[in-house]
Amino acid sequence: MFISSWSGGKESCFACYKALRSGVKVTHLINFISKEYQRVSFHGIKKSLIQAQAELAGIPLLQKETTPGNYESEFKEAVESLLPIGIKGMVFGDIYLDEHRQWVERVCGELGLEAIEPLWERHTEDLMREYIENGFRAVVVSAQADLVDKEWIGKPVDMDFIEYLKKKPEIDLCGEKGEYHTLVVGCPMFKGSIEIMEQEVINRQGYWFLDVKDYTVVRSS
């Protein structure tokens, strides 16, 4: 049994999907939100949207509040709470940043868990195309304002967005270095989709954020 690290974005979702397809039994999603803002850090997504994703995926969600400077200890505390049910490892959506992989392998090792990275060392453009071709739908929910134009916030991650990013060599196509973040609104894992009804784009400390003011969950029959 495995836990899947879940930010609500395309990589965490796609990694979980690929792990499930390979036969890994994912029993829980685990998500971390800011204690102060009740939103996913960097993504700026309200915790209720993550809860809606988990319900659509049909996988139990453990949502843990974190505070500045205590992320690792709070991460471990959350994961440890699930160990008694027989968790053997965790799924992550890292692609090529060694420091990220080293961190998850160290922390998982200290907890006696295996770390699985289904997307590791995949070519980012190939990964983006595979993601889209497999029916995953996401929207851009945050980005560095000096790298991504405001008009793309709230827009879908599609081939038009890929072509836009390819004109900006300083941006990784998957946003692996935090250039932008996404929210998955539909995918093969979900029994339905999230439809954003009302939104506002705001700028805070050099980042664009999509403030989702209203949304509805459409369940498939």
- Would you give the distance in Å from CA 198 to the centre of its chain? 21
pLDDT at residue 5 greater than cutoff 90: yes
pLDDT at residue 42, as a whole number: 67
- Encode pLDDT of 160-172 as tens digits: 999 999 999 899 9
**Contacts for 157 with CB less than 8 Å, ≥ 6 apart:** 10, 128, 131, 132, 137, 138, 139, 140, 182
Q: Which tens digit of pLDDT belongs to each residue from 27-46?
A: 999 999 877 666 787 667 88
pLDDT tens readout for residues 53-69? 999 999 999 999 888 78
Query: Cα(83)–Cα(97) distance, rounded to whole angstroms?
Result: 27
For the stretch 103-151, pLDDT in tens is 999 999 999 999 999 999 999 999 999 999 999 999 999 999 999 999 9
> Is 52's pLDDT higher than 70?
yes
Q: What is the pLDDT of residue 43?
A: 67
The whole-number pLDDT of residue 65 equals 86
What pLDDT digit, counting tens, does each position of 86-110 carry?
Answer: 999 999 999 998 999 999 999 999 9
- C-alpha 78/C-alpha 94 separation (Å) is 20
Average pLDDT score over residue span 181-188:
96
pLDDT of residue 68: 78
Render pLDDT for 200-209 as a digit per residue (tens, 0 to 9): 999 988 999 9
Mean pLDDT of 155-182: 94
Token pair belonging to 87: 């968790």
Contacts of 204 (CB under 8 A, 6+ apart): none
pTM score, whole prediction: 0.93
Average pLDDT value over all residues in the chain: 93
